[in-house]
Structure 1
Amino acid sequence: MPKTPHDPLYYHARRAVLHANDTGISHLQRRLRIGYQHAIDLRHALRGDVLEHQADTDTWHIRAEADRHTDFLLEEKLAQAARLIGSAKALVIAAGAGMGIDSGLPDFRGDEGFLRAYPALGRQGLCFQTIASPPAFEQVPLTAWGFYGHRLNLYRATAPHAGFGVLHAWDQRMAQGCFVFTSNVDGHFQKAGFPTARVHECHGSIHRLQCTAHCSGEIWPTADLHPQVDEAACQWQGELPHCPRCGALARPNVLMFDDWHWNATRSQQQRMLLDMWLDSTTAPLVIEIGAGRAVPTVRNFTRRMQQRGSALVRINLREASIHNPDAIEIALGAREALERIQQHLAADI
């Protein structure tokens, strides 16, 4: 545990050392924009916390047992994020699967999370990548639709958590508006009040269907689809959804694994609206929430936004690089982080 610092740059120096694995004085000078003596004093202050000094060789090393997991700058980051939101004219919300966990939606992280949610599929030897793929609709259509039918019912029945409301309030205060970029297919941003024309679902939506035979390229809503699923067996009950044009089996308009036949028309139209909006704004603030590295679609998007000049606030309970000095990375769940940022924002008003 670090000693109580007297220098206000102590934790910033700590972060700089751990992020770059560089104990050099010149590194601290460049990173913190301080003088030589100040950098020497900070390095000595870090001794016994993250640094150790070998007197016989006069060398400095990062301690193997140094605490790399506690974010001593968390409150400062939350306050900084609030200041960015308070001064922003435009906002991009980039959300991955972690956004929905606080609403009670299942976490498919790794095989364990998937099998907890769908033990019947585990008993059949089916993993997430197998059931969430086009061949499943050919080989085991009742099971494939049992999985997606259950998910459709779940997403319809689940209320978006309070963090969505916080984001919607921030949307309302932006002079140039807000746009959502999400890999989630649950439709919860629209359910929380975000305009459909301001949401880009890059992996499609479970609330839309397409034909497995690709007869016309049509995409249609699931409004009239009311799944009856034997949840214990993960099996669809009754007549399977079919294409209204040709009668072939229908499938969700969702980008699956190894999916060469996903109809991306609707998603491409949404992307066109996003690009038009981005062309009309100047470096909108980006808030990335619950987007991991395993399927990096959202992270790749936010990286491109950074290259365009946008500031980034990243919220991720498990995959935040809390020592990254080039972004505000907050290792909290979505709801807690958003509500705590809002508390700082309200205090500043």
Structure 2
Amino acid sequence: MYAIDRAVAAIERADGLLITAGAGLGVDSGLPDFRGNQGFWKAYPALAESGINFQDIACPNAFTNSPHRAWGFYGHRLNLYRETVPHDGFQILRTLAAKVEHGACVFTSNVDGQFQKAGFDPDRISEVHGSIHHLQCLNGCRGDIWPGDAFHPVVDEESCELLSEFPICPHCGGIARPNILMFGDWSWVRTRSNEQSVRLHVWRQTVKRLVVIELGAGRDIATVRNYSEKAGGQLVRINPRDDRVPEGGISLRAGAQDALRAIEQLV
């Protein structure tokens, strides 16, 4: 039996779908691929000129040492994610979820909010690394998290610098930062992500015939891949490059949108 047929048969037997997603899921929506310095610097040439890599800018120290540049980077990303339209694969996943008894839950390392934008129930999304659409105090003064809807960054894309005012903590008046787990981050407020994790765990207890559909999850930061493999149930791994699976897993070597379209035609 072909892998695609095995995947379809598993989904048709399932009573719940766990959708696990890494950064590769967004490529079909036109979002940049930060794999390695070259991919990152292609998206941010101003940082390339300064020799600043992803880990240098995606850390709390960047907000302390160079807040205009740090918010230039994250402000650009925030604007990009707000403008991006989720690709057709998201709606295919919603259609598949509607066919099974307990629907679907999402576990993702992505901070872009694309699942919410595509119409997934926010109470069934676990964002393990947080969300760029929520803010916290840079100093974590009260452990508070709040929506960033009122913040509309103006960014000079050539220099990757914030031109508008910083978002401000409502408690201490200091600079706010995205509620995202960064590199070397000891001040990330994880309350929101912890609450999401609890809801996912409760849902998981109701599912007896689980299928894990993993999309675009890399090995460099293997949070999603590890979770997929430990979740139990049948793993369907969709990845155009590294689609190796543990024994019993189903491997589809393709991009997310193409693989989901193929599944949709057979379900």
TM-score (norm 1): 0.75
CA distance in 1, matches of 2:206, 2:248: 25
* Equivalent in the alignment of 2:169: 243
Correspondence for 1:178? 104
**Distance in 2 of aligned mates of 1:187 and 1:314:** 22
Question: 1:341 and 1:151, CA in 2 relative to 1: closer, same or farther beyond 3 A?
Answer: same
Q: What residue is the counterpart of 1:312 in the other structure?
A: 235
1:1-349 alignment runs, 5 A limit: 76-306=2-232, 310-321=233-244, 326-345=248-267
1:284-326 residue CA offsets vs partner (Å, 9 max, x unmatched): 11001100110010011111113xxx0000001111127x652
CA distance in 2: counterparts of 1:102 and 1:117, whole angstroms:
16
Give, in angstroms, the shift of residue 102 of structure 1.
0.4
Aligned position for 1:11: none
Q: Distance in 2 between matches of 1:123 and 1:279?
A: 50
CA contact (8 A) 2:15 2:210 kept: yes
What code does the residue aligned with 2:255 have? Answer: G
Q: CA deviation at 1:283?
A: 4.1
List runs of 5+ in structure 1 lacking aligned partners: 1-72
Deviations 1:29-50 (A, max 9, x none): xxxxxxxxxxxxxxxxxxxxxx
- Tell me the CA shift for residue 124 of structure 1: 1.3
> How many residue pairs get matched?
267
What is the CA-CA distance between 1:174 and the residue it aligns to? 1.5
Instruction: Name the amino acid aligned to 1:89.
Output: D
Choose 1 or 2 for highest CA Rg. 1
Structure showing greater relative contact order (alpha-carbon pairs closer than 8 Å, 6 or more residues apart):
2
Instruction: State, as a whole percentage, how many aligned pairs show the same letter.
Output: 51
Scaled by the length of structure 2, what TM-score is found? 0.98
Unmatched tracts of structure 2, length 5 or more: none
